[in-house]
Structure formats: C-alpha cells, structure tokens
Structure 1
Amino acid sequence: MYDKNKKGKYMIKIKNVFFKYENSEESNYVIEDLNFEVEEGEFVAVLGHNGSGKSTLAKLINGLIVPTSGEVTVDDMNTKKDEEIWNVRSRAGMVFQNPDNQLVATVVEEDVAFGPENLGVPTEEIQKRVDLSLEAVGMSDHRKSSPHMLSGGQKQRVAIAGILAMSPEYIILDEPTAMLDPIGRREVMDTIKKLNREQKKTIILITHYMDEAALSDRLVIMEAGKIILEGKPREVFSHVEKVKSIGLDVPQVTELAYELKMDGFDIDEKVLSVDELVGEICR
C-alpha cells in the first residue's frame, strides 16, 4: 500500500474490492482484490490499456457502480449505502471523456448552474459558484455563449466548471482529453494542474497519455484489474521494460535516456523532460 512521503490523510479508500458487471458474458472480475487510497490534495494519475479496469475504478469512487465485494469510502461514507450516495457524489465530482454528454443547457452559465440547482443550493450562492467556477477554468468571457459553439477543449473546461460549482473536494476525470486535439488537451491539463495547485483540489486522472501522467504526484498503472506499478512518475517510468511489456509506452525522453544507459553512457535514465535529458547529456 502506497504511503511514501505521506503528508495528509487518506480521504478516498478502496479496500479489498472485487467487481464484475452482472450482465457481462465474462465471468472474470474487472477489478480484483484492489486496495487503493488517495490522500487529500493529491494528484493521482491512473494508466492502463483498454480493459485494465481504470475507468471502472473511476466509477467505483463516484458511486456510479458499487463493489461486488469489498468497500469504497469517500470521507468515511460508504458508496453501498443509498442514504449516503448523493453526499458521496457531491464530494467526488466526475468528468467524463465526452464533454457533450455533460452539457445540458443552451447557455454556458446556465449549464454550470445546473448541478448546484439540483442540489438545492440557494440562488444567490449558485451565482457566486458559477462566477468562481468559470473564472477557475478561464471561461468567464464565454458565460453567455452556447456550449455547442465552443471548441472541444472549451467544452471540457465548461464541464469541469459544472462539477466545480457543486463544490467537490475530489475531482475524478475519466480520460477527459481523449477526444481533444493537442490545443484542447493542453487547455484542459493546464486547468487540472491549476485546480490542484491553487485550489488544492484532489485530482484522480484516468488517462492513456504518458505526458499527462508524468504531471501527477503519484502514478498508478493497472493491468487486469490490479495495480502492478505505483509511485512517483519518474520512478514508475524508470521500469521501462515492465511498462512496455504490458503494451504501454514511457515518455520519449525517458526511453531515449534508457537506451543511452543500455549503450554504456553514464546517464540517469529517470528523466521526464527534454531539459532534464539535456542536462544529463551535458553532464
């Protein structure tokens, strides 16, 4: 269980969790005996190829599905308890891959207000939350725009604002950049980093992009419903052969440093950026 350099409290806890979809023809568990905890204020990235269980993990934390066995708790609230599920979802907001699936109104500010309205938040408080949420994602200038006229990256930022307006402590993002172009990806990742660093939001990012995972505090790699590697990104990506053996890549600069090391160069292969690699080569 991960506890290296632990600074705060574990607020999301997954204990001995097994899960399989009831209507699936597959008899195997999608998640198998998973133990996983997330610290308050942490930025955790989860990597894995299709079928590894990473998206199922996101749904378990948000309470969209419940464990076949084992427990998932958010701030000590059990996702299996019907009377606590809405409190769980207000604490752990979920952002999906396709922003169009989360946009429900014809005006941006109305879309952002939708969530808190359904929570029964007073009108004056809703307006404050909408203002703060749009400012946080850099979309205040588009508050009167139609969401469907925005770019992909802008739509996803509005979707994130809609989650922020419900004042969650934890934001779970299930491959939020998968459908975006490079500009949109950068916009969304800048927003995620800002929320984590400036607002101290706990982030759980499900992704298949190595460069996004490298930005996290902690990286988890899943395979067949289990965690097979876990730690700081530079430590996890240093296991080049193991990562590649399950069909994933490592950042290009990390792989280049690894190849140079294998060729006999005295170089630290635990690099994540071009600048770090240049520094090692110059040294």
Structure 2
Amino acid sequence: MNDEMIKCTNVYFKYIRNSEGIIQEKYAVKDVNLDVKKGEFLVILGHNGSGKSTIAKHMNALVLPTKGTVIVDGLNTSDSENVWNIRSKAGMVFQNPDNQLVATIVEEDVAFGPENLGVEPSEIRRRVDESLDKVGMSKYKRHAPHLLSGGQKQRIAIAGMLAIQPQCIIFDEPTAMLDPSGRRDVLNTIKDLNKNFGMTIVLITHYMDEAAQADRIIVMDEGSIIMEGTPRQIFPQVERMKKIGLDVPQVTELAYELKKAGIDINEKILNVDEMVNELCQLK
C-alpha cells in the first residue's frame, strides 16, 4: 500500500512580473523534493517570500508546477481531469476565516462543500453534525458565523473542510489573525484531527511553539528546502535558524544561551515542562 499522501518531485514554480514595463521572471519555488506521509503532521517554516505558501498551494492544485510533478494520493495535479478529485482528497484552510465563510448560519456553511459535491441530504446532515462535533462547535450550529470570535470562525472553516471528507488538510497560517486563546483552540483542533482521526496535516506557521508539536519540520528559504528533520533536530540549530530570519521556541533559545554560558544542560528542549525538569536536575 502506498503510504505517501503527497509527493513533490523537482518542483519549480516561476512567475512573471511586469514592473514599469520591465518583465521579470522569478522562481518562487526551486527544485523542491518533498514527501508527505499519510497520517503525518508536517510543518513548513520560512520567512515571507521563502516559497512556503506557494508549495502549499501546489498540494491541492491551486497552483501547478512550471516544471516537475506533484502527486496527491496517486493523482498528478497537472492533469486537469484530476483537479476536483485532488481537492476532495487534500483540502485547504487559509489565514482569514472571514474569506472562507459563505452562509448566514453555521450549519449551512459547513454543508456548503458536500452540497456542491452532490452528496445526499441525509448524508450531508450526518457529515455536518460529525464535523462540528470534531471541532468542538456543535452548540453553535444555529449561530450566525459573523457573530463568532476569530478562533471559532476558523474552527467552522475547518468543519466545512472536514464535511468534504478529505484525507489531508493543508493549513496556510490558520492562526495568524487570531488572539492567543483562539490560536490555542485551533491548534488543539488540528492536533486532535491528526492524532485521533488519523488525518494528514500540513501546517504553515510562523509560530515556533506550534511547529514544535509537529512530527517533522521542513524549513524553506528563497524557494528551496534548506533544513528537514524533527523539531528536536531543527530547533537546537539556533544560529542557523536566526541567520535565515527565523526564531526557535523561547525555551530552546534559553537552553542554548545557558549552554553557551557554560551550564551543562540538554539543548534539545521544546517546552516549559522539559526546561523545568532540566533545571531541577542541575547540581
């Protein structure tokens, strides 16, 4: 059985910019090779302009490669006949929940995707209830989406995607516009979908505490993948991350500074509990 959800092979993406009559070609993605395993929680990091959002849009055929191939669950994104199949397998949730909500009542919004796919009404009802339950928003099903908080709206957008029953969801900075509590709720929802429902997750974020919870991290810079590994392999490389304009979790940086100051401490620390344990063990 193929355990690959998404496979990018030698992917290039070029766009042409016309600036004051001067035509410029620029590669937003350069020679990217990337496999996403079924059931994996993958995070893609990179500063603005690194190509991370562009590669994410390749994963559900919103963007097609200039060169190379993207295969989603066995389907080539460059074949136009595959587009709707691909998008029902790999859904996408964006930064601004307001741009993704279409109806005046929450449950109607969640029903929108399956209705467009021609799903039977009784099956739509089941999917809507199940999807709202998965994101902890069942009690809001008769509410107006515009009256909800940012985090709640984003969870409704996720429920709408779940109702289509994809195997994979790609999140493009879904918590960027949320307050800390909304951010925490949405991340918990994402982790729950991955751990308890086996959903493949690709998360683009600039929050390092979110990235620290992934199975694997890809770091992009200037359109290419420059680092790849588990959070414990990536984040202790503090100097390298800072050099490309990225942070690491605060506790990892603290461990790095303590080590530099001559204190014998494990640098591969990702959260406060681990830091407390390490400090308690210091003689």
TM range (shorter): over 0.9
Gaps of 5+ in 1: 1-7
SS in 1 for 2:50: coil
C-alpha RMSD over aligned residues: 1.0
Find out whether 1:14 has 2:23 as its counterpart: no
How far did residue 224 of structure 1 move?
0.5
Q: 3-state DSSP class of the match of 1:21?
A: strand
Q: CA deviation at 1:21?
A: 2.0
Residue range with higher mean Cα deviation, 239-248 or 24-33:
24-33
Does the Cα contact within 8 Å between 2:194 and 2:200 map onto a contact in 1? yes
In the alignment, what sits opposite 1:118?
116
In structure 2, how many angstroms separate the alpha carbons of the residues matched to 1:115 and 1:143?
Answer: 16
For residue 258 of structure 1, what is the amino acid of its counterpart? Answer: Y
Partner of 1:149: 147
Q: Which residue of 2 aligns with 1:84?
A: 82
CA distance in 2, matches of 1:216, 1:24: 39
Is 2:92 aligned against 1:101? Answer: no
Determine if the alignment matches structure 1 residue 199 to structure 2 residue 197.
yes
- Corresponding residue for 1:138? 136
Contact 2:17–2:25 (Cα < 8 Å) also in 1 = no
* Cα separation, 2, equivalents of 1:22 and 1:132: 44
Q: For 1:12, give the aligned amino acid.
A: I
Letter matched to residue 239 of structure 2: E
Task: Report the Cα distance in structure 2 between the residues aligned to 1:10 and 1:225, rounded to whole angstroms.
Answer: 23
Structure 2 gaps, min length 5: none
How far has the Cα of 1:277 moved from its partner?
1.2
SS of 1:64's partner is: coil
How far apart are the structure 1 equivalents of 2:276 and 2:138?
39
Deviation at 1:28?
2.3
Residue by residue over 1:76-112, the C-alpha shift from the partner in whole angstroms, topping out at 9 and shown as x without a partner, is: 1011111110000000000000011110000000000
Task: Tell me, in whole angstroms, the C-alpha distance in 1 between the residues paired with 2:134 and 2:18.
Answer: 40
By how many angstroms is 1:23 displaced? Answer: 4.5
Q: Which runs of 4+ in 1 moved over 6 A?
A: none
Correspondence for 1:5: none
Q: Quick one: structure 1 residues 259 and 24, their matched pair in 2 at CA, closer, same or farther if it must change by over 3 Å?
A: farther
Aligned to 1:268: 266
1:249 corresponds to which of 247, 250, 254: 247
Q: CA deviation at 1:20?
A: 1.5
Q: Verify the 8 A CA contact 2:220 2:226 in the aligned structure 1.
A: yes
Partner of 2:53: 55
SS at match of 2:258: helix
> So what's the TM-score if we normalise by structure 1?
0.96
Identical columns (%): 63
Map residues 175-194 of structure 1 onto 2, 5 A cutoff: 175-194=173-192
State the alpha-carbon separation in 2 of the partners of residues 244 and 22 from structure 1.
30
- Higher strand share goes to which structure? 2
Q: Is the 8 A contact 2:105 2:143 kept in 1?
A: yes
Q: How many residues align?
A: 276
Cα gap change, 1:174/1:24 in structure 2, threshold over 3 Å: closer, same or farther?
A: farther
Q: Secondary structure at the match of 2:104?
A: coil
What CA deviation, in whole Å up to 9, does each residue of 1:179-209 have, x standing for no partner? 0000110110010011001100000000000
Question: Equivalent residue for 2:44?
Answer: 46
1:61 offset after TM fit, Å?
A: 0.4
- Amino acid in structure 1 at the alignment position of 2:3: K
2:158 to 154, 157, 160: 160
d(CA) in 1 for partners of 2:132 and 2:160? 9
Cα distance in structure 2, aligned partners of 1:63 and 1:23: 21
Question: 2: CA distance between counterparts of 1:118 and 1:198?
Answer: 28
Whether the 8 Å contact between 2:17 and 2:26 is mirrored in structure 1 is no
CA drift of 1:24 comes to 5.8
Give the distance between the partners of 1:152 and 1:220, measured in 2 at CA. Answer: 27
Length-normalised TM-score, structure 2: 0.96
